[in-house]
Amino acid sequence: MAGTVEQKLAAQGITLNEPRTPMANYVGFVRSGNLLFVSGQVCANAEGKLIAKGKLGAGVTIEQGYAAAQGCGVNLLAQVKAALGDLDKVVRVVRLGGFINSAPDFLDGPKVLNGASDLMVTAFGDKGRHARTTVGVASLPSDAAVEVDAIFEVS
């Protein structure tokens, strides 16, 4: 049976799929003590198709970017579930790092990354509030619009 966090997500229509296999020589997550470091997750859906492809500010809208960041958040949580077996073992979301595939003059990366941040608060309440960095980048793997990595405190 799904834990409390997964039930909250399901009530919002969000289900977790099997985490994606890493694309190169790295692992999806590493636990060190009570910290879980989750590798960057691109904005792919359950079928592996990108939710948004291309550059924010040059064909991809803020709304599409927000949805893509939310998809990255779902993929992060899938990795956490694979690592811990239960999202209820998350003590706190410590940090999100967001990478926004951006046109040089795109300045609204923080609005895009809110898709992942809002998801963490939806899932974990106040324990989902976190430190955050948002960086505009020239490109991402497979021309994904967004990639997000994370650090979680876990029990």
Domains contained in the chain, CATH given: 4-8+34-154 (3.30.1330.40)
Cβ–Cβ < 8 Å for 91, 153: yes
**Tens digits of per-residue pLDDT, 88-137?**
999 999 999 999 999 999 999 999 999 999 999 999 999 999 999 999 99
Spatial neighbors of 75 by CB under 8 A, at least 6 apart, are 19, 20, 41, 42, 43, 44
Tell me: the pLDDT tens digits for 35-85?
999 999 999 999 999 999 999 999 999 999 999 999 999 999 999 999 999
Using CA atoms, how far apart are residues 42 and 50, in angstroms rounded to an integer? 8
- pLDDT surpassing 90 at residue 2: no
For residue 1, the model assigns a pLDDT of 56
**DSSP code of residue 125:** G
pTM of the shown model: 0.97
